[in-house]
Structure 1
Amino acid sequence: MLANSSLISEIKNIISQSRDNAIRSVDYQRTLMYWHIGQRIFEEEQNGKERAEYGTYLIKYLSEQLQPEFGSGFSRRQLEKYRQFYRVFPIASALRTQLNWTQYKLLTSIDDEHKREYYIAESVKNNWSARQLERQINSSLYERLLLSNDKESVLAIAKGEMIPNEPSQIIKDPMVLEFLGLKKESAYYEKDFEQAIITNLQDFLLELGNGFSFVARQKRIHLEGDDFFIDLVFYNRLMQCFVIFEIKTHKLTHEDLGQLQMYVNYYDRKEKLAHENKTIGILLCAEKNNALVKFTLPENNESILASKYQLYLPTESQILEALKIDLDEFNNQKN
């Protein structure tokens, strides 16, 4: 009697899961090995040796003794990383089994403790790969969230200690879309931009962040003989609401905001269920005018946001300048 497909599928899943667990176990043991090596190096340096040059000598000596037998993983540079790993993460029991050595190398390079904790929490919660973690760090995800939130709430949401209740807590401005492969100097149609997002949907969902799932593209709505098409529709399970995206490859206008407001109203009245929250509309544009957004929309607006996109990874100086401008605007509003 032939085994049914369900049994075969279950056995395949068992094999696959066991292999994954074995890989994670081996990698975690390797991470622990590097931690213990870093601990011993650090303790030896601190063992009554006051001379700063002793640390340099010790690393060089260890490398000369270990590298010929154990390979490039014990070069001077790698041994210095193991020492730094221990200094940043001094408690072995606090190391996360979900994170591999490549991820810990990335995290060790982060000096800000709040920032490091944020990326640890998000990596564990979302099961980020090392490549995804590196991309989020390079795109200054943490700093971009700080443009509209405080450190405490950003970290609390990442750790699952707080559920976001405002769009600004999860929607980034700017949104970094370097993975689309579009050149900022080139002219392209909005349909090309939309297609690039669909082609790179997994990366776009990573940029959107926690709780997003894709619902529809070019969603057709019919209003008394007139047809309209919404560019992209998503759903966020954390905020329990639809999130509509309209793409504009030009500087936004008040007509764009009016169009998006109509789509949001439609979803609130026709698609939203009684237990769900109000629909959020995001105008993803090449350039925006904050004053135009402010005076076009009602003062109590909580549903429509404009987010500028950029097709390249931001530099540290750009993010710091944006944070400075944001803080200046906040202080001006207080005064």
Structure 2
Amino acid sequence: MAEKSIKQFDEKNDEQVYVSVRETLESARGKVERVVNSAMVEAYWEIGRQIVGATGERAEYGKHLVRYLAERLTAEYGKGFDYTNLTNMRKFYQAFPILDTVCQELSWSHYRRLMRIPNQEQREFYMNAAAEEHWTVRQLDHQIATFYRERLLSSQGEKRELIRSEIQRSEPVTAADDFIKDPYVLDFLDLGGRTDFDEHQLEQALMTRLQEFMLELGRGFAFVGRQYRLDGEQASYYVDLIFYNIKLKCYVLIELKTRPLNAKDVGQMDFYVRLFNEKYAGPDDNPTIGLILCSSSDRTVAKYSALADGKGLFASSYVTCLPTEEELTDALEPTRRAIAEARAEREEK
């Protein structure tokens, strides 16, 4: 009789209860891990502070003290406090001397990578970006290796100079300038250095590695669709990729070009953005952004087309291999040169 009554229980409800209990446990485990991580990061900072405070400028004594502490602490607490790790704790304090500026969301592994950045401003930029975007250590390392900050600031600087000098407009730089980069590094596509792919193949490669592409795009992106159809009165048009940026509260249309940028590309994107704003964007959405990703940009097109209007149209180049520092410097040079020329023209006036 008891066996029969057990079979009458709702198995679907059993599963729902299990899922709910499991979610509770996972949430609690995550909270514990975050608390433990935060406590350990703070403890490592404090250990570094005490070592620096005790040694001051006495380098030789500092080495002696770290060796002494490593021997005793390793015997009591394990290899997590060996000479190398204690040295890293000292460097951690020296790199981030104010505890309140340390992001508790990041792990010790994040900080070991950040400490290798010699410039304080760069360290703080990547620390804040990693915390805000929830980058893994591997993602943080990739963004540093691909000069994420430099590419972002280069695009922002170019836009500001164009607005102030060439366009003679009073509009501020749009929020989109906070995530537009030039160039975009698509080394995750594993194209093996190929340059003979067409736009369809590039689009398919990006879809296959969508997560990595969204990381490269930047903050707050959600995928909407590919070959997204826009219906006009007599014809339909297809946008390569559409995303929604949650932070900017707007749609982002992306067109892929495996050749250099031309004026026709800008006109096409301008048309798509206008049509999308009119027929597809919601009343609460901010104006749509259009981004053309091309094999190389053209300064003339950028200066004498709708790209120069500061109205949400952008064009950036892309590379499919991880560039060296010298190669990226060369890629950023046209932008820097344009900024210098714009400043010179403004000063002459």
**Which moves more between the two structures, 137-146 or 232-241?**
232-241
Amino acid across the alignment from 1:112: N
- Counterpart position of 1:30: 40
Higher Rg? 2
1:113: how far off? 2.7
Q: Determine whether 1:184 maps to 2:185.
A: no
Amino acid across the alignment from 2:64: Y
Structure 2: stretches of 5+ with no match in the other structure: 1-8, 161-171
SS of 2:156's equivalent? coil
- Counterpart position of 1:90: 97
- Counterpart position of 1:79: 86
CA distance in 2, matches of 1:307, 1:298: 11
The answer to whether the 8 A contact 2:266-2:307 is kept is no
CA distance in 2, matches of 1:214, 1:332: 38
CA distance in 2, matches of 1:279, 1:128: 27
The answer to whether the 8 A contact 2:174-2:310 is kept is no
**Which moves more between the two structures, 183-192 or 52-61?**
52-61
CA distance in 2, matches of 1:312, 1:241: 30
1:328: how far off? 3.4
**Which moves more between the two structures, 51-60 or 197-206?**
51-60
The answer to whether the 8 A contact 1:264-1:279 is kept is yes
The answer to whether the 8 A contact 2:254-2:291 is kept is yes
CA distance in 1, matches of 2:312, 2:296: 20
Q: Determine whether 1:210 maps to 2:215.
A: no
- Counterpart position of 2:166: none
Amino acid across the alignment from 1:288: S
Distance 1:277 1:92, change over 3 A: closer
Distance 1:86 1:274, change over 3 A: same
CA distance in 1, matches of 2:116, 2:107: 15
CA distance in 1, matches of 2:100, 2:307: 52
CA distance in 1, matches of 2:46, 2:142: 29
Amino acid across the alignment from 1:14: T
CA distance in 2, matches of 1:298, 1:119: 29
1:245: how far off? 0.6
Amino acid across the alignment from 1:127: H
- Counterpart position of 1:157: none
The answer to whether the 8 A contact 1:221-1:229 is kept is yes
Distance 1:317 1:90, change over 3 A: same
User: Within 5 Å, which residues of 2 pair with 1:113-192?
Assistant: 113-149=120-156, 165-192=174-201
CA distance in 2, matches of 1:219, 1:323: 32
**TM-score, length-normalised on structure 2?**
0.81
Structure 1: stretches of 5+ with no match in the other structure: 154-162
- Counterpart position of 2:281: 272
**TM-score, length-normalised on structure 1?**
0.84
What per-residue deviation string (whole Å, max 9, x for no partner) do you get for residues 190-239 of structure 1?
A: 22211121122122111111222111111123445544321101112333
What per-residue deviation string (whole Å, max 9, x for no partner) do you get for residues 124-176 of structure 1?
A: 222222222222222211111110336xx9xxxxxxxxx98343322111111
- Counterpart position of 1:43: 53
Q: Determine whether 1:7 maps to 2:17.
A: yes
What per-residue deviation string (whole Å, max 9, x for no partner) do you get for residues 31-84 of structure 1?
A: 2342233223212212xxx54332233334444555566554334332221110
Amino acid across the alignment from 2:241: L
The answer to whether the 8 A contact 1:240-1:277 is kept is yes
Amino acid across the alignment from 2:198: Y
1:323: how far off? 5.4
- Counterpart position of 2:63: 56
SS of 2:118's equivalent? coil
Amino acid across the alignment from 1:142: R
The answer to whether the 8 A contact 1:31-1:101 is kept is yes
Aligned residues: 321
1:234 to 238, 243, 255: 243
CA distance in 1, matches of 2:145, 2:227: 31
